[in-house]
Structure 1
Amino acid sequence: MKVLVLGGDGFCGWPTALHLSDIGHDVIVVDNLSRRAIDLELEVDSLTPIRPMGERIRVWKEVSGKTIRFVNLDLAEDYDLFAQLVVTERPDAIVHFGEQRAAPYSMRNTPAKRYTIDNNIRGTHNVLVAIVASGLDIQLVHLGTMGVYGYGWTGTTPIPEGYLTVKVPTEEGLLDREILHPANPGSVYHLTKTMDQLMFAFYAANDQIRITDLHQGIVWGTQTPQTALDERLINRFDYDGDYGTVLNRFLMQAAIGHPLTVHGTGGQTRAFIHIRDTVRCIEIALNNPPAAGEKPAVFNQVTETHRVRDLAAMISKLTGVEVANLPNPRREAAENELNVSRDRFLALGLNPTT
């Protein structure tokens, strides 16, 4: 299968590109290297020394004997170039990581908010339009987020995988109707992912694009079997306040003896998945596409859930570093449950790392 991996230089995109290449797919990475540019903007860097894209690809060829090609273009700005690439390469599938992925960054200031909307919405729509314009039957797998559901859920009923059946009052009585689960975004980043959902629903119905939307939890871990083959293939490890996830931040604070900073009560429950499981989920999604004309397939891509204070307590116990509770800058419920349905991937053979 020929696969375009959009955003293939990023934290999830790079190990996915390697995994797909390793199992025999013809992989083309499309990226404008914006994540590296944001590092310069924020004056931070990955803890792990990631190599230039050209070197990464050369090393992969050395250690695996397999070729990954790279195209540098901006999905939001370079529509004509991307559309021509699709027509020329005729991919069987497109895996779409090519969006600004950090919720804190998306709320950082006005330019960051505008960039996140411009980049994510225009880029995703350009991908959809290019698929339609090509006239090709191309499967689209998109990396979404559990955050589309919001984090105010306090019930015990599992959050379903994408859709709800509701009863609509009519003059003839109650009518059963299946709808997308109501969205409750907590940041501009999450807002773009909820808007993506509506675009996918439209293009699946109107143009019969085969689309899978993966509502992914917080990804932890750094290495996959492929990135561990050579230190020059190593993946990112972000620990800053914008791109560093809660677990990475706690680990870095513990390493230097800094108190583990928990915002609010720490009662926020979040979904997690290891990077090794992320790449496996992409493989499973590619192998199990919806049929043309079907609604987008939605998978909850999570393997476990934890409260923030429980993670902090675990790391504190292991390292001896104390926990410090700070005021929560986010407007969110102090405590929430996150009971998530995740049956689809398990039924298709996912064996989670944790």
Structure 2
Amino acid sequence: MRVLVLGGDGYLGWPTALHLSDTGAEVGVVDNFLRRRYDDEMGVDSLVPIESLEVRTDVWHDLTGRRIETFVGDLVDAEFLFDVVRRFRPDTIVHFAEQRSAPYSMIDRAHAVHTQHNNVIGNLNLLYAIAEIDPSIHLVKLGTMGEYGTPNIDIEEGWLEIEHKGRRDRVMFPKRPNSFYHLSKVHDSHNIEFACRIWGLRATDLNQGVVYGQQTPQTERDPRLATRFDYDAVFGTVLNRFVIQAVLGEPLTVYGSGGQTRGIIDIRDTVECIRLAAANPAEPGEFRVFNQLTESMSVHEMAKAVADTFPGIVEVENLENPRVEADSHYYNVVFTGLPSLGLQPHRLSDTLITSLFPVVEQHRERVNHAALSPTVRWSSPSNDLAT
């Protein structure tokens, strides 16, 4: 199987490329290194140092004898993208190549426009490339559970059976996203479903929860294969922030009461979900949706899990929530598709002890303390981070 990973230099794209290569696929990666430029803009680096894509692929080849082909360019450049798809001739395209931060998209008009243009236009170019070059290519697209918002009903896997005035139909599950980033993902999903329905493309949309963890069996083979560890208030995740604060002896900062509930997933499960989706493709004309998470926890429960697991005293501090969202809500997610394909999930409590605490302890001197505090407020159309 030939797999092209878009965004293959990123937090999830790089370990996914390694996992697929390690399990027998011929892998190519595409990236324009935009995520690295965001670090320069925000003035924050990954907690774990990361090598260039060239060094990473050379190390992987030296260790395994497997070559990962690289293509440097932007999905918004349709001519570049069409050329790569023609040259590499993938069976599957895994699409990670999008601006992935909700806070970043809410900084101001320029950042909102950049997010929507980069994500929606790049994805639309990709759909045309598949349709015009090889409609049999299976698109595996990373979506987000944030597309759904927090409805007061169970969140089904992408589709909803409804009855209205005595008639029944199957429709895409209603979306109520909470940032311009999440809105861009909704637009992607609608465009992909349209392309499957009209052009007969095949696609799997993976609505993923919050990812935690930094190590996979492949990245652990050599420090130069490491992927990112983001912890800042713009690109970091709440669990990463809590782990760093615990190791540094600082209070865990919970936004609001911490009643907001999220789906979460270990990075090792993320890369395996991608492999399972690629190995079991959707049918021609099918827009298939999997909810990709392994546990659901409130932010308060995440803080408690970190505090209970850390071998030391941990305090929790509640801050004013910079986001506009319900402080607590109903949250029940249907998650059956990927387990039916064989996913065996890891649990947060195990990963905290075996991976996250040791990784942070090893690199604690690299923490930018100021970056842990929230700086982007949803209620303001223009924040101080505007450039």
Paired AA for residue 262 in structure 1: V
- Distance (whole Å) between structure 2 residues aligned to residue 135 and residue 342 of structure 1: 31
User: Structure 1: how far apart are the matches of 2:45 and 2:20?
Assistant: 27
1:161 matched to 2:157 = yes
Q: Is structure 2 residue 176 aligned with structure 1 residue 177?
A: no
**Secondary structure of the structure 1 residue equivalent to 2:297:** strand
Aligned partner of residue 255 in structure 1, secondary structure: helix
Report matched runs for 1:256-267 at 5 Å. 256-267=248-259
Distance in 2, Cα, partners of 1:221 & 1:135: 35
The answer as to whether partners of 1:223 and 1:275 remain within 8 angstroms in 2 is yes
Counterpart for residue 73 of structure 1: 73
User: Match for residue 298 of structure 1?
Assistant: 289
Residues of 1 paired with 2:307 and 2:135: CA distance? 53
Find the counterpart in structure 2 of residue 268 from structure 1. 260
Preserved CA contact (<8 Å) 1:106 1:113: yes
Picking from 170, 191, 195, the partner of 1:203 is 195
SS at match of 1:21: helix
Deviations 1:249-279 (A, max 9, x none): 0111122222111111100011000000001
- What residue number does 1:86 align with? 85
Residue number in structure 1 paired with 2:343: 350
| Counterpart-to-counterpart distance in 2, 1:88 and 1:70 | 12
What secondary structure, in the 3-state scheme, does the structure 1 residue paired with 2:203 have?
A: strand
Q: State the secondary structure of the residue aligned to 1:289.
A: coil
Instruction: Name the SS of the counterpart of 2:139 in structure 1.
Output: strand
Partner of 1:341: 334
- In the alignment, which residue of structure 2 is the partner of 1:279? 271
Shift of 1:168: 3.0
Could you give the per-residue CA deviations for residues 58-117 of structure 1, whole angstroms, max 9, x where no partner exists? 0000111100011000001x1101102212221111000011111111112222111100
Report the 3-state secondary structure (helix = DSSP H, G, I; strand = E; otherwise coil) of the residue aligned with 1:297: strand
Equivalent residue of 1:240, what SS?
coil
Secondary structure of 1:40's partner?
helix
Task: Please name the residue that 1:146 is paired with.
Answer: 145
The residue identity in structure 2 corresponding to 1:164 is L
Q: Which runs of 5+ in 2 are unaligned?
A: 348-387
- 1:167 is paired with a residue whose SS is strand
User: Once the two structures are superposed, what CA deviation does each residue of 1:155-193 show, in whole Å capped at 9, x if it has no partner?
Assistant: 5xx311000011233xxxx22110000000000110011
> Matched residues in 2 for 1:79 and 1:222: separation?
32
Q: Which amino acid aligns with 1:279?
A: V
Count of aligned pairs: 345
Aligned-partner residue type, residue 67 of structure 1? R
Bigger shift: residues 18-27 or 127-136: 127-136
Rounded to whole Å, the distance in 1 between the matches of 2:110 and 2:22 is 39
Aligned to 1:34: 34
Whether the aligned pair in 2 keeps the contact of 1:167 and 1:175 (CA below 8 Å) is yes
The secondary structure found in structure 1 opposite 2:167 is strand
**Mapping for residues 54-69 of structure 1, pairs under 5 Å:** 54-69=54-69
Cα deviation for residue 154 of structure 1 reads 4.1
Partner secondary structure for residue 198 of structure 1? helix
Q: How does 1:241-260 map to 2 (within 5 A)?
A: 241-260=233-252
CA RMSD of aligned residues (A): 1.1
Aligned partners of 1:336, 1:320: CA distance in 2, in Å?
Answer: 30
Q: Percent same amino acid at aligned positions?
A: 49
The question of whether the paired residues in 2 share the 8 Å contact of 1:271 and 1:338 is answered with: no
Matched, 1:230 2:229: no
Query: Within 1, Cα distance between the matches of 2:4 and 2:292?
Result: 21
Distance in 2 separating the partners of 1:237 and 1:135: 36
Q: Give the letter for the 2:291 counterpart.
A: N
Q: Specify the code of the residue in structure 1 equivalent to 2:21.
A: S
